[in-house]
Amino acid sequence: MKILVTGGAGYIGSHTIVELIKAGHSVIITDNLCNSHKNAVARVEQITGTSVPLYAADIRDSAALSRVLDEHPADACIHFAGLKSVGESNSHPCEYYDNNISGTLNLISVLRAHNVKNIIFSSSATVYGIPEKSPVTEDCPKGICTNPYGWTKWMAEQILTDLHNADPSWNIVLLRYFNPIGAHPSGLIGENPNGIPNNLMPYITQVAVGKRECLHIFGNDYDTPDGTGVRDYIHVVDLARGHVKALEAIKRNCGVALYNLGTGKGCSVLELVKTFEAVNHVHIPYVIEPRRAGDVAVCYSDPGKAERELGWKAEYGIEEMCRDSWNWQKNNPQGY
C-alpha cells in the first residue's frame, strides 16, 4: 500500500517507516519538523536503501496537504503528527488543542477530499486516566485524563469513532501505546528529545552519556514491590511492527478497531535502571524525589486483543530495550 505518514520524521514514525518499507509498502512523509530533524529521514533511507519523500507540511495547512496527496495518491494514512509533552500541555493547552485536535480535523477533511478513508491513529494508554486495575484491557472505560495532552488523545479517538459512525466506509485503527523506548538496532535512529527529557529512558541515557548529572526518581513509596512506579515499556521496533499489522486489519475493512500495544509486563523504575546498568556496564547515579503530580503507581497492558486479532506480539524484552537505547545515545550523543 501507499501510506501517508504524518509526523514521520519523529521517534515512532521513523521506526515505523523502516518496518513499512521492509513489509513492501511505500511511504510519503508530512512533518513540520517542530520536534524532529530531517536527518532522521536520511537515516531511514540509509537503513532501508529506499528514498522517502519528506514534505515539510503542517497538518493544519490544507493547501500543503492537498498538494502532497495530489502528487502522491495514498491508500491509507498513519497519523503520528502531534505535540506530546505532558508538562508543556499544562502550560500551553491551547497550542496542544490546536495542533492535535484542529490538526487532526484538518487532516481528516483533506483525506476525505482525496477519498483516503483508512487511518491509523497514535493514541496512548493515557486515555485510560487512572486505570482501576492492571493489566488494562481495551474494554476498560476511558477515564478522566490528568492533562490537556491526554484529553487531545481522548478527543481525537472520539472524533475518529464518530467519523466512522457517520460514514462506515472509513476504517479506523486506534492504537493505544504504552511506554515506547529503545531504538533501531543499527543505532542510526532513536529518540531525540529537545531540552530536558520528560520521560524516563531518555533521561537515563543522557545521564549515562554525561549530559545530566543524575536521574531523579519520582517516588519510592508506591504500593509496588520496590516502591517505584511500574510501567509497560515496549521496544519501539515492536511498536512499529504493530502498525504494519494494523494495515492488514484495514485491508480487511475493520471498521473502528482499538488495540493496546504493550508487552503486558510491568517494570519498575528501579528495575529499568538496574537492567540498563547491567546490560550496558554503565553506572546511573540517582536521587529519590517526591512523587510526580499525576503519576499512577502501576500501569501495564493486556495486549491479548492485538495478538488474537492482528497476530501481533511484542518480541523484545527490557534487556534489548536498554541495549538499543544506549547504542543509539552513545553513537549520537548530540542527537541527529
Which residues in this chain contact ligand NAD in the complex, by CB under 6 A? 6-7, 9-13, 30-36, 58-60, 80-84, 99, 103, 122, 124, 177, 180
Nearer residue to ligand NAD within complex by CB, 109 or 169: 109
The footprint of ligand UDP on residues 279-298 (CB under 6 A) is 292, 295
Q: d(Cα 29, Cα 283) in Å, to the nearest integer?
A: 38
Nearest CB to ligand UDP, comparing residues 50 and 146: 146
Residue 80 near residue 10, CB atoms below 8 Å: yes
Which residue numbers are catalytic? 149
Distances (CA, A) of 325 to 186, 245, 309: 11, 24, 30
Cβ(43)–Cβ(10) below 8 Å: no
> Is residue 179 at the binding interface for ligand UDP, with CB under 6 A as the rule?
yes
Using alpha carbons only, give the angle 272, 120, 240 rounded to the nearest 5 degrees. 35
Q: How far is the CB of 124 from ligand NAD (least distance, A)?
A: 3
175 binds ligand UDP, rule: CB under 6 A: no
Position 336 contacts ligand UDP (CB under 6 A): no
Which of the listed partners (ligand NAD, ligand UDP, none) does 7 bind, with a CB threshold of 5 to 8 Å by partner kind?
ligand NAD
CA distance linking residue 29 with residue 195, whole number of Å:
25
Kindly tell me which of 167 and 289 has the beta carbon lying closer to ligand UDP.
Answer: 289
What grid cell was written down for 226?
520496590
Residue 131 binds which of ligand NAD, ligand UDP, none (CB < 5-8 A, kind-dependent): none
How many residues make contact with ligand UDP (CB under 6 A)?
13
List CB contacts of 202: < 8 A, sequence separation 6 or more.
191, 193, 325, 329
Q: Write down the least CB distance from residue 121 to ligand NAD, Å.
A: 8
The residue number whose beta carbon is nearest to ligand NAD equals 10
**Smallest distance from ligand NAD to CB 264, Å:** 17
Report the residue number, 29 or 270, with the smaller CB distance to ligand NAD: 29
**218 contact, one of ligand UDP, ligand NAD, none, CB 5-8 Å limit per kind:** ligand UDP
Between 292 and 330, CB nearer to ligand UDP: 292
Looking at the Cβ atoms of 32 and 206, the one nearer to ligand UDP is 206
- Give the distance from CA 332 to its chain's centroid: 21
107-132 b/e with 16+ CB inside 10 Å = b? bbebbeebebbbbbbbbbbbbbbebe
The closest residue (CB) to ligand UDP is: 229
CB of 132 to ligand UDP, least distance (A): 17
CA separation for the pair 121, 177 (Å, rounded): 10
Find out whether 85 and 152 touch, Cβ atoms under 8 Å.
no
Q: Shortest Cβ distance from residue 96 to ligand UDP (Å)?
A: 15
- Tell me which residues in 181-240 interact with ligand UDP (CB under 6 A): 198-200, 203, 216-218, 229, 231
**CA within 13 Å, CB half, 82:** 29
Query: What phi and psi values does residue 177 have, to the nearest 5 degrees?
Result: -80, 145
CB-based contact 116:167 (threshold 8 Å): no
Binding site for ligand UDP (CB under 6 A): 179, 198-200, 203, 216-218, 229, 231, 269, 292, 295
